[in-house]
Amino acid sequence: MYRSSLFSNNAIPEEYRKAAGNLFPAEGFSAQKDPSIQAATEFATALGIKAEYEKLLSLSRATGGEMGVFLDHFQNNLDLLIQKTWVEKVDEARKEKLQNKVPGFVDGIENGNFQQALEDFGAILDELSYLFFGVQSMGEDFAEYTFRIDAQMGLFWWYGSQLGCLKEAIKDGPSNDESLWAVLLIGICYLTNF
């Protein structure tokens, strides 16, 4: 799904362009810089998850406690989404494979391995978009398609397509885990409430 950029994709409604551009700037995301919590919060606001996002961002990511409960909710909700998705018999194995990826992703978050969690989350979103939208999810016009269905949902899938920018930024040097966590938490919050 890592294939579009903000400025080459005119599908983003005007009211979301600023938030999208601040989170994933045209000059590229720099995981080495201090996290732009304001940009991430602005994006979470556009997705309609600001209150939960801010609450979770302030919690300790240590195993257990409120964050552990939240990650359990995330895993359970994602599991339900995967199970309830109707697919052709040939794609049943994809559903099972996707369900098997989620615990590893959650473990990565709990262990603070955000670089691996980023890669896992990108793979999860790719598979989830395929389960929801079929081959349409692989098309160049996927973001435009999802924006026509629902603007916030379209913004979420566009966000998923941008995570590759983070992956590339990490290759260039050491990353700021707070930045990676702030960006990953957006998607986790959204899917927990989907």
pLDDT in tens, 110-148: 888 888 898 899 999 999 999 999 889 999 889 889 999
Query: How far, in Å, CA of 103 to CA of 110, rounded?
Result: 10
More reliable by pLDDT, 87 or 61: 87
Q: Which domain holds residue 109?
A: 27-192
Q: Is residue 115 part of a domain?
A: yes
- In percent, how much of the chain has pLDDT > 70? 84
Does residue 171 lie within any of the structural domains? yes
From the list 52, 175, 65, 158, the residue with the least C-alpha distance to 117 is 175
Q: What is the pLDDT of residue 36?
A: 76
141 within domain boundaries: yes
The total number of structural domains in the chain stands at 1
Residue 21 lies in a domain: no
Query: CA 120 → CA 38, 44, 62, 160, distances in Å?
Result: 25, 21, 19, 12
| Range with top average pLDDT, 23-27, 90-94, 136-140, 173-177 | 136-140
- Position 36 in a domain: yes
Q: Is residue 112 domain-resident?
A: yes
**Per-residue pLDDT at 142:** 92
Residue 9 located in a structural domain: no
